[in-house]
Structure 1
Amino acid sequence: MRIPLFKRFVIACLNILFPPLAVLLICGPNEDLLFNCLMFLLAVIPSHVHGFYISLTYFNRKRKVRNGMYPGKPKHLIWSDKVNNGGASRRETERLKQQTENGKLGRMVSRRTASTTIKNGREPTRVEDWDDGYREDAISPSTSRMRSGRVGRSNTRERYYENQDHYR
């Protein structure tokens, strides 16, 4: 079940008006509330920063737990188990951690890594693989320019033959 947008909006407004109240609603009465109250009494702006830090961490970790991912190690300056575990119990967090360590959950692949592999699962062709002609499964000039983000010549076949000229 998704966290209602209204709840996030209320927490954000409370963070702006009175950060200790927002921290109390998220964490409950614990060390985080004491730390935020102390910061609010000494200097108001750090209290706002700490309140937003707690709320953003909580909502991010709650989303991870909802998607079946391990929320991660405890964050600095957050002592609440509810925030560090994303609202999940310790048992649930340990189960997610074990699944992640055992490799049952698939790793997230970055866009760059996913875009550089060819549809047949191999890395882009190497220059040594080419014969006299252009291989069909090699990267085309337009897609290699898009994938690498470089501007300029990207036709790998031309670069291969240019590099061979100075060896002859």
Structure 2
Amino acid sequence: MGAVSAILVVLITILFPPIGVWTVAGCGADLFINICLTILGYIPGHIHAFYIEYVYFDRREQVREGRIAAQRAPGVYSDRVQSGGANYGTMIQPTHG
């Protein structure tokens, strides 16, 4: 299912880059930057969107292989993208002591 979702996100990004960024990064700084770049020019919006998606899917693959990226990807502000979606939205259970 991962390949199908990646292809779908790429097809959506070709039509409208901010929607592609929103699907992997959510609503935040990366989306705002992409909207601004898309308004300034269609090509810069695409370049940024595909970079965000590349980092997301690359980090997701690294997590599946059991590797964790040592450094943050430059220019990516979303923790969801930085972690490849791993542990995103989960809450730490309190310890009973």
TM-score normalised over the length of structure 2: 0.84
Aligned twin of 2:62 = 64
The gaps in structure 2 that reach 5 residues or longer are: 89-97
Distance 1:73 1:89 in 2: 17
- 1:44-123 maps to which residues of 2 (within 5 A)? 44-89=42-87
Deviation at 1:72, TM superposition (A): 3.0
The gaps in structure 1 that reach 5 residues or longer are: 91-168
- What amino acid is aligned across from residue 54 of structure 1 in structure 2? I
| Structure ID, larger Rg | 1
Identity %: 34
Distance 1:6 1:72 in 2: 28
> What does the per-residue CA deviation read over 1:114-166, in whole Å, with 9 as the maximum and x for residues that have no partner?
xxxxxxxxxxxxxxxxxxxxxxxxxxxxxxxxxxxxxxxxxxxxxxxxxxxxx
What number of residue pairs does the alignment pair up? 88
TM-score normalised over the length of structure 1: 0.50
> What does the per-residue CA deviation read over 1:82-125, in whole Å, with 9 as the maximum and x for residues that have no partner?
111111238xxxxxxxxxxxxxxxxxxxxxxxxxxxxxxxxxxx
Deviation at 1:42, TM superposition (A): 0.8
* C-alpha RMSD over aligned residues: 1.3
> What does the per-residue CA deviation read over 1:4-45, in whole Å, with 9 as the maximum and x for residues that have no partner?
221011111111110000000111100000000000001110
Question: After TM superposition, where is structure 1 displaced by more than 2 Å over at least 4 residues in a row?
Answer: none
**2:40 aligned with 1:30:** no
On the 8 A contact 1:73/1:84 being kept in 2, the answer is no
